[in-house]
Structure 1
Amino acid sequence: MALLRTVDRPLDGPWDMIVTEPGACTGPEDLTNLAGFIPAPVPGTAAGALRAAGRWSDRAPTPLHGSDIWYRTQIEGRGHEILRFEGLATLCEVWLDAELLLASRSMFLAHELAVDLEGRHTLALAFRSLAQDLARPHKRGRWRPQLATPGSLRHARTTLLGFMPGWCPSVDAVGPYRPITRRGEGAKPGEIDLRASVEDGTGILSLGLRLPEAGGPVTLRCDGRETVLAETAPGRFEGRLELPGIALWWPHTHGEPRLHAVTVAAGGETFDLGRVGFRTITQTRPFAEGLSLAVNGVPVFCRGACWTPPDLVGLPGDRAAYAPSLSLAVEAGMTMIRVGGTMLYEAKAFHDLCDELGLLVWQDLMLANFDYPTDDPAFRSALRTEIAQLLDRLQASPSLCVVGGGSEVEQQAAMLGFPESVWRARAVEAMVREAAAEIRPDLVVVPNSPSGGDLPFSTDAGVTHYYGVGAYCRPFADARRAEVRFASECLAFANVPEPVSLAEAGLTDPRDPAWALGVPRDRGADWDFEGVRDHYVGALYGVDPESLRRDDPERYLTLGRSAVAEVMEATVSEWRRAGSVTAGGLVWLYRDLAPGAGWGVIDVTGRPKSAWYALKRAFRPVQALLTDEGLNGLHAHLLNETADPIEAHVTLAFTTAAGKVAAKGERSLTLAPRATVALSSAALLGRFFDATAAYRFGPAAHDLAHLRLTRADGTVLAEAFHHLAGRDATPREIGLSAALVDDGDLVALRIAAERYALGVHVVLDGEGRPSDNWFPLAPGSERRLAFTGTGERPSGTVRAVNGSEVVRF
C-alpha cells in the first residue's frame, strides 16, 4: 500500500498585516508605500498579531471593527490550483495581485477559489470596517435584545463575542482566524459523503465521492475490512461496507469512544478520510416532554458546560489550544459540551478531540436573541449554506449529537410579550431539519435553546435555561419543584478563581473598583452575578456577605468559593437521583473570557475553580447521592453508568459534628451495569430513625448524615453528605491535619480531621493542583489527594471553611 497522500498545503506565509483607516486603500496596489506592517500568523486574528507585536492591552483592547485591516503574502506556483479559506472574519475581500476574487460577508462560511498561477503573486486580504457596515441604514427587527448592541448585528454573520457588554470583553474578531490552504485541482477525492451508522448491531459505512483520476478500482477500507466502490457516474464512486461486530463509540463515562480509520485506495495511492465512530443517538421521550438522549440504546444523563473559546484574542483552532480544556472536561466527568449561539463554530480539531475523548457535542447555529431577517432571500441563502457546510464538515463526527437553531431567540421575543406566532423560529428550525435529514439524519434537532413548552423557557418541557437555583436566588428545593427536563444552561455564578490566578491578575481585593470589571451581569439588570453568589453565601452560612466583604475580604472570597461548590453539588445531585425527570444539565459557562470572578468553572488561565471540583464530584459515573424525602427519611441513590458490574459496600452513618454515632447501617450489594439503586435510610438501618428530623419527637440526635460507597476492597468510590441543621461555618478547632506520604511511585497528600470539616481546600505554593478541592470530610476520616503539575515534593497549606487551623505541608 502506498503512503497516505496529503494534498492540502497550508498557506501560512509569512504574512504581514497593517491597520488602516476605512477606505484608505481600495486595492493591494495602495499598500505599496505604506509603513507599519507587522508579522501576522495565519490562521490568526489581527488582535492576536497586535498582541504578539506588543501593541495590545488586555485591560484596554484596541477597537478594530472601525478600521480596515490588510493581510498580504507571496504565493508562488505554476498551473491551476484551489485556494481554500476556512474562515474570514468578517467583511473580507480576497485579491490576487490586482484582481478581486471574492467579497465575503460571513465569518462562518468557507470558500474555495480556482486560480491560475504563473510564478510569483501577491495574495492580499482586505478586512473592511464592520462598524461602518453596521452603521449604514438597515431594516429594524421586531424587537431589540438587551444582550448585544448594535441592533444591526441581526444582519451580520459574525460572532457576538465582543459585542456583549456586561459579560464579554470588547475584543473584536477580525482576520483569517481559520486555515488557508492550497492544492492542485483534482488532486484528491472531492464531494465526499461519508456516513457511519448502526443497524441491528452491525456498523454500516456508506461512502460517495468524486475521484476523476481514479485510474482503476476504488477500494474503501475500515477496521481491516474492505469493499470496492461502484462507479455510478463518470468519476463518481459509491458503496457501502458492512462491519458486523464493530466496536461502538461511547461517551467516556459509559464505555470506550472507539474510532476507526477510513481510507480509500485508488491507482496505487491511498487517501486518508479520517476516523469515524459507530453509535446511535435517540430520544427516549417526545421532545415536548423534555429532551432525553440515549446512546446506543442506553439513557445518558448529559452533564457538562457551555463552551467558550480558549483564547478570545487569538481564536486559535489547533489541538494544542483545545486539548487542555477538553481534557479537564473529561477529568470532571462531563459528558457533553454545548457550543452556544453567542460564540463561534470551533475548528475541526475541537470536534476531533471530542470524538477521541468521548465528549458529546451540542452545536447551536450562531444565532442568538435577535430577530434575524429570515424573510430576506439573501440571508436565508447564506444561512442555508452555513448550515450545510457545518454538517458537511462534521459529517462523520460521532461526538456531534444535537444541532440547535440558536440561543434565546424564541425566549427573547416571548419575554417581551410577543405571541407564539412571532416568537416561534419556524423558518430556522425548518432549515436545520432539512439539512440534518439530508446530511446528518442521525442527529437530534432542537428548534432553539430554550424551546419546547407553552413558553420557550418553560422548565418542564423541551429544553430550558434554568436559573431558579442561581440567578433567581431560589432555594435548593426549586431544582426539584421546577421539574426541569433538560437544562441546556444552568447554575451561573460569579465563580471566584483560586488565589494564584487572582494574584497574577492583580485582583486580590474584592473591594478594589477593578474587581467589578471581572464580574458578569446581564445588560440592563440592576444586579450582577456576584450578588447571586452572595445570596447563597448568606443562605448557607448565615453570614452577611456585605459586612464580610468590607471587614474580611479573604474570608469573603473563601466562603464564596465554598458556597458555589455546595450549590453545584446539591443541584446536580437532585437531578441525578432515582426518579428524577431531569435528563441533562449544562453549566454556564465552562471557561472565563477575562480575568476575575467570571461565570467559568475554569478561569481565564485554564486553572480549575471550586465549581469545577464540585462538578467533578457531582458528575462521577459511579456515584452516591443523598436526598431529603421528608417523612420518608433520607434516600441513598447509587449509580453505576459503566458497562461493568461493581461489587460494592454502602455505609450510612448519622453522627454529630464531633463524630458521635447516633445510628449506622451498611450493606454489601452488586451494582449492575447501567443501573441505579435507591435505598431508604430505613432500609439501610433496618429500623425507624428520624433521619430528617421530620417527626419532631425531640432534639435531633445527629447533625450530619454521611453516605459512603466503596468497592469490596475498601476503595472509596463516592461520598455524600446531608446537613440536618445547615452548614455551620464558624471557625473552630476541628483537628485538621495534613502530611505528604509516599503512595507507590507518587507522593500524595493525606488529610484528616477529628471533627466534621466543611470546604477543605488546598492552596499550593507553586504551580499545579490537587486531585480534589473544596470538599467535605467526615469526622474521624481521611482523604488522600494526588497532584498534577507540581514538583516532586509539593508544598502549601490546607484549611477548612469551619476550621481555625492553617496546616502547612
Structure 2
Amino acid sequence: MAVLRTVDHALDGPWEMIVTDPGACTHPGDIDGLPGFIAAPVPGTAAGALRAAGLWSDAAPTPLHGSDVWYRTAVEGRGREILRFEGLATLCEVWLDGELRLTSRSMFLAHEIAVDLDGTHTLALAFRSLARDLARPHKRGRWRPQLATPGSLRHARTTLLGFMPGWCPGVEAVGPYRPVTRRGEGDRPTAIDLRTSVADGTGSLTARFDLPGAAGPVILRCDGRATVLAETAHGRFEGRLDLPGIALWWPHTHGEPRLHAVTAEAEGRSFELGRVGFRTITMRRPFAEGLSLAVNGVPVFCRGACWTPPDLVGLPGERAAYAPLLALAVEAGMTMLRVGGTMLYEATAFHDLCDELGLLVWQDLMLANFDYPVDDPAFRSALDSEIGQLLDRLQASPSLCVVGGGSEVEQQAAMLGFPEAVWHATAVEAMLREAAAARRPDLVVVPNSPSGGDLPFSTNAGVTHYYGVGAYLRPFEDARRAEVRFASECLAFASVPEPASLTQARLADPRNPAWALGVPRDRGADWDFEGVRDHYVGALYGLDPGRLRGDDPERYLVLGRAAVAEVMETTFAEWRRTGSVTAGGLVWLWRDLAPGAGWGVVDVAGRPKSAWYALKRAFRPVQALLTDEGLNGLHAHLLNETAEPVDAVLTLTFATGAGKVAARAERAVSLAPRSALALSSAALLGRFFDATAAYRFGPAAHDLAHLRLGRPDGTVLADAFHFPAGRAAAPREIGLSAELVEGGAGAALRIATDHHALSVHIGLDGEGRPADNWFHLAPGSERLIALHATAGRPSGTVRAVNGTETVRF
C-alpha cells in the first residue's frame, strides 16, 4: 500500500531578489533588466539573502522597511494547482505572469490562490515599503507606549522585532519568511481537522477532511485501531475513534511525551495525517487566584523561559534551527516556553519538536503594549482570521496549553493611569475565548500577560511580570513576600556570556564603549540591565562593582556571571518549595538577540550562560532545596516530579569554609512518584542548632549548610547550599584540584576541593561545554562533571570565585 504524506511541495525556486526605491516599480515588468538581483532562499528574509550575498553588516543592519523588495521565480506545470503562502512579511502583492492575484497586509496570515498552469510561468512577490505605509495618516491610540516606535505600528500586523530600541538590533523582517508551496487539487486530503480528548482513561480522536472522488470505505487508523469514516457531504469524511487505555502525553519531566500517528486509507492508498497526543490541561484554582496548571490531573510547576527566534536576521523555521535550542531547554529541565506578543508565531516545526520533546507551549497573540484598533472592522477581521489560522494549524498539538491575548497591553494602559474600563482588553479576550472554544476547547485562555488582579500587574493574582528581584532591585525575600502566583516573565539581567563568546564578538573588555551596545535597556529609562546585575553583585559579595569594573574587568565579569546564577537559583528555590503559592516562572529571555550581555540564558550563538546552568540545577525534576525560615531554622524541601519512586539518602551538613563540621544529619528517605516532602533542620538533627544564625547567642558555628540528596550507591541527585553570613568571595587558597577522566562514556572532569569552593567555573579551550558550571562545592567534596561535544582531548581551566588557584587540565 502506498503511503503518502499530506503535505504540500515547496516552491523553492531558485528565487532571486532585488531591493528598489519605494514605489519605483509598480508592476513586475518594471524590474525586468534591473541590475542588482541576488539569489534569495525561500523561505527566508531579504536580510538573510543580503547576508548570504555578503551585503549585510550585523553592526549596521540594512534598513529595509523604507524600500520595496521584489522576489521572483519560475513556476512550471500543467493543470490546476493551489499555491500557498505561509507567511509574507508584511505588505505583499502576489503577481503571476504580470497579473495581480493577491494582496496581503499581515505577516501573520497564510493565503492560498488557485492557478491554472500551462508550461512555464513567472511568480513575483512585491513587498512594499512598510515605513511608507506607516507614515500615512492614522488614527492615534489612547496611549503611546515607550516600547516601540512609531505609534502607527498599532495598525500593522507585523512583528515588533526591529522596532524596539534598546531591546534588539534594528533588523527589519521583510520577505517570504515562511514556505511558499504548491499542491494539485484533489490528490490528497485537505481541510484536515484532528481533535483529541481524554475522559476516564479513554482517548477520543475525531477526524474530518476532504478527499473528493474517494470511492469505497475511508478508514481512520491510530494506535493500531481503526474505524470507518462517514461521508457527510460530497468528498467530506468524518468520524470518531475511541481509544481505551491510550498512552498519554506528558511533559518530559513528569513522564513520556507519547505521540500517536494518524493515517487515513482509501482505494489502496494510505495518507499520513500527522501525529496527535492525548492529555488534559486543567486549572487548579480560579484565574483570579493565580494561574496554576495540572496535566492529566497532576500539578505541574511550569518553569522555563520566554522564547526568542533562533536567528533574528533569517527567521528560520526548519527543524534544524530549532532542535539544538529546544534540546538545551529540555536538558535544563524546563517544562514551558512562552512565545510572547513582541515576537512572531513560530513555524510548525517548532511546535512539532515541542510535542516530541515534552515541552509545554504558552502562545501569545502578536499584540504588545499598543492600543490596538479592535473597533476597526478591517483590523478586527484580520485578527480574527489570524487567531483562527493559528489554532487550526496547531489543532493537534498536545504541547500547546495556554493561549494569551498578548503582552503588556493591559499593563501599559494601567501604568499610564487609565481606569480598568480602558485597560482591560475585553474585545481581544472575547475573540480569543470564542475561537478557542470552537477550535481548541482544551486550552487555557489568559486575557493578557500580565493580567488578573486589581491592577493587571499585581503579583498575587492571575499572571504577573515579576521583576521585584531583578529590575526593581528588591531583596531576595521579596520573591516570597510578593506572593507571586505565576510569573510569565521574570528575572531579566544583562547576563554575561562565557569568555569564548565574548572573545569571538570582540567584547572581552566591559570598559570598551562597544560593550554598552549589547546591554539591553527599556526605552526612556535612565538605567539599564547591567546596573541591575551590578546591584546584586554588590548585595551578594559586598563589593563595589563600578570600582571593580575599572580595576579588574575580568573579575568584574566573573562575579557578574556568578551573581546571576545565584539569583536564579535562590528565587526558584523560594517558588518551588513546599507550601509556595507560586505555580510557575518563565525567565526573560531564552536567547540573546545580539552579541553581548543580553537578557538571554543562552547567548546569540546558542551557548549556555551561567544563568542556564543555574536554571538546570533549579529545575531538576528530582530536587533538594534549602530555605531560610528564620527562627524556625532551615527547611529542606524534597521534590520528585517523576512517575517513578525515588529511594535516597538525605544528608545535611553544617560546616566552616575550611571543612570543620559543626553539625550533621543523615536520613534515608523514600519519595513517592510526583510527591514532595519538607523537613526542618531541627527534625533532621533531632536537637536545637542555630541553623540560620538567627538567635545571635554568639558567633555562628558554621559558614555554610550543605544539603545533599543521593542514591544509596552515592550518585548525587541534587544538592543545595545556604550561607548564613553571606557568600565570602575574597580569593584565598582553597585546595582546588581537577583531573581529566576519559572512558567509554566520554571525557569528564573530577573536581575536588579542600575548603569550600564558591561558584566553580570551567573554561574549555576549544568547542564544547561542561554538563554543569558555576556550582558550589562543599569542603572536602568532589564532583564528576561530563564534558559535552569536545573534539579531541579536552583542555582548559577550573577556577572558583573564592579561590586563588587556576587549575589547568
State TM-score, norm by structure 1: 0.99
| Deviation of 1:461 (Å) | 0.1
Q: Is the 8 A contact 1:7 1:184 kept in 2?
A: no
Q: Is the 8 A contact 2:495 2:597 kept in 1?
A: yes
| Deviation of 1:269 (Å) | 1.2
1:400 paired residue number? 400
CA distance in 2, matches of 1:49, 1:117: 28
1:132 paired residue number? 132
CA distance in 2, matches of 1:4, 1:751: 54
In structure 1, what residue type is equivalent to 2:602?
A: I
C-alpha deviations, 1:730-782, integer Å up to 9, x for none? 00000000010235442210000100000100000100000000000000000
Q: How does 1:378-527 map to 2 (within 5 A)?
A: 378-527=378-527
**Comparing 275-284 with 27-36, which one deviates more in the overlay?**
27-36
Q: CA 1:449–1:745 in structure 2 vs 1: closer, same or farther (change >3 Å)? A: closer
| Deviation of 1:193 (Å) | 1.5
1:318 paired residue number? 318
| Deviation of 1:789 (Å) | 1.3
Q: Is the 8 A contact 2:290 2:461 kept in 1?
A: yes
CA distance in 2, matches of 1:757, 1:720: 13
1:798 paired residue number? 798
In structure 2, what residue type is equivalent to 1:643?
A: A
| Deviation of 1:5 (Å) | 4.1
| Deviation of 1:167 (Å) | 1.3
C-alpha deviations, 1:610-642, integer Å up to 9, x for none? 000000000000000000001110000000000
CA distance in 2, matches of 1:3, 1:374: 45
Q: Is the 8 A contact 1:626 1:707 kept in 2?
A: yes
Secondary structure of 1:693's counterpart equals coil
Q: Is the 8 A contact 1:7 1:187 kept in 2?
A: no
In structure 2, what residue type is equivalent to 1:186?
A: G
| Deviation of 1:6 (Å) | 4.9
1:689 paired residue number? 689
CA distance in 2, matches of 1:338, 1:5: 30
Secondary structure of 2:272's counterpart equals strand
| Deviation of 1:77 (Å) | 1.1
Q: How does 1:640-789 map to 2 (within 5 A)?
A: 640-789=640-789
CA distance in 1, matches of 2:59, 2:747: 40
CA distance in 2, matches of 1:36, 1:132: 22
Q: Is the 8 A contact 1:317 1:350 kept in 2?
A: yes
CA distance in 2, matches of 1:547, 1:213: 78
CA distance in 2, matches of 1:342, 1:122: 35
In structure 2, what residue type is equivalent to 1:669?
A: V
CA distance in 2, matches of 1:701, 1:745: 41
State TM-score, norm by structure 2: 0.99
2:340 paired residue number? 340
Q: How does 1:132-211 map to 2 (within 5 A)?
A: 132-211=132-211
Secondary structure of 2:379's counterpart equals helix
Q: How does 1:211-250 map to 2 (within 5 A)?
A: 211-250=211-250
In structure 2, what residue type is equivalent to 1:705?
A: A
CA distance in 2, matches of 1:5, 1:350: 19
Secondary structure of 2:326's counterpart equals helix
| Deviation of 1:561 (Å) | 0.2
| Deviation of 1:8 (Å) | 1.6
| Deviation of 1:2 (Å) | 2.0
CA distance in 1, matches of 2:433, 2:225: 33
2:86 paired residue number? 86
Is 1:15 matched up with 2:15? yes
Is 1:349 matched up with 2:349? yes
CA distance in 2, matches of 1:214, 1:463: 49
2:60 paired residue number? 60
Q: Is the 8 A contact 1:279 1:398 kept in 2?
A: yes
In structure 1, what residue type is equivalent to 2:26?
A: T
Give ranges in structure 2 of 5+ residues lacking alignment. none
**Comparing 757-766 with 737-746, which one deviates more in the overlay?**
737-746
In structure 2, what residue type is equivalent to 1:658?
A: A
Q: Is the 8 A contact 2:5 2:273 kept in 1?
A: no
CA distance in 1, matches of 2:127, 2:271: 35
CA distance in 2, matches of 1:246, 1:620: 28
Aligned-residue CA RMSD in angstroms? 0.7
1:528 paired residue number? 528
In structure 2, what residue type is equivalent to 1:758?
A: L
Q: Is the 8 A contact 2:522 2:528 kept in 1?
A: yes
Q: CA 1:6–1:420 in structure 2 vs 1: closer, same or farther (change >3 Å)? A: closer
C-alpha deviations, 1:69-114, integer Å up to 9, x for none? 0000000111111000000000000000110001100000000000
Q: CA 1:26–1:253 in structure 2 vs 1: closer, same or farther (change >3 Å)? A: same
| Deviation of 1:791 (Å) | 2.2
Q: Count how many residue pairs are aligned between Structure 1 and Structure 2.
A: 809
| Deviation of 1:7 (Å) | 5.5
1:552 paired residue number? 552
CA distance in 1, matches of 2:746, 2:512: 41
Q: Is the 8 A contact 2:3 2:272 kept in 1?
A: no
In structure 2, what residue type is equivalent to 1:460?
A: N
CA distance in 2, matches of 1:357, 1:805: 40
CA distance in 2, matches of 1:703, 1:670: 29
1:100 paired residue number? 100
C-alpha deviations, 1:432-489, integer Å up to 9, x for none? 0000000000000000000000000000000000000000000000000000000000
CA distance in 2, matches of 1:23, 1:792: 56
CA distance in 1, matches of 2:7, 2:411: 46
C-alpha deviations, 1:225-263, integer Å up to 9, x for none? 100011112222111101111110000000000000001
In structure 2, what residue type is equivalent to 1:733?
A: E
In structure 1, what residue type is equivalent to 2:690?
A: D
Q: CA 1:571–1:99 in structure 2 vs 1: closer, same or farther (change >3 Å)? A: same
C-alpha deviations, 1:647-694, integer Å up to 9, x for none? 111000000011100000110011000000000001100111111111
**Comparing 25-34 with 286-295, which one deviates more in the overlay?**
25-34
Q: Is the 8 A contact 2:537 2:545 kept in 1?
A: yes
Give me the identity figure in percent.
Answer: 83
CA distance in 2, matches of 1:522, 1:6: 45
In structure 2, what residue type is equivalent to 1:583?
A: A
Q: Is the 8 A contact 1:654 1:704 kept in 2?
A: yes
Secondary structure of 1:3's counterpart equals strand
C-alpha deviations, 1:500-542, integer Å up to 9, x for none? 0000000011001000000000000000000000000000000
Q: Is the 8 A contact 1:647 1:670 kept in 2?
A: yes
CA distance in 1, matches of 2:542, 2:98: 71
Secondary structure of 1:786's counterpart equals strand
**Comparing 446-455 with 743-752, which one deviates more in the overlay?**
743-752
CA distance in 1, matches of 2:301, 2:74: 52
Q: CA 1:729–1:440 in structure 2 vs 1: closer, same or farther (change >3 Å)? A: same
C-alpha deviations, 1:774-798, integer Å up to 9, x for none? 0000000001010111024200000
**Comparing 799-808 with 264-273, which one deviates more in the overlay?**
264-273
Q: Is the 8 A contact 2:666 2:684 kept in 1?
A: yes
Q: Is the 8 A contact 2:371 2:409 kept in 1?
A: yes
CA distance in 2, matches of 1:336, 1:211: 37
1:36 paired residue number? 36
CA distance in 1, matches of 2:32, 2:282: 58
Q: CA 1:411–1:725 in structure 2 vs 1: closer, same or farther (change >3 Å)? A: same
CA distance in 1, matches of 2:603, 2:621: 25
CA distance in 1, matches of 2:405, 2:6: 35
C-alpha deviations, 1:679-737, integer Å up to 9, x for none? 00011001111111112211111110000000122110000000010001000000000
Secondary structure of 2:82's counterpart equals strand
Q: Is the 8 A contact 2:95 2:102 kept in 1?
A: yes
In structure 2, what residue type is equivalent to 1:277?
A: G
Q: Is the 8 A contact 2:77 2:120 kept in 1?
A: yes
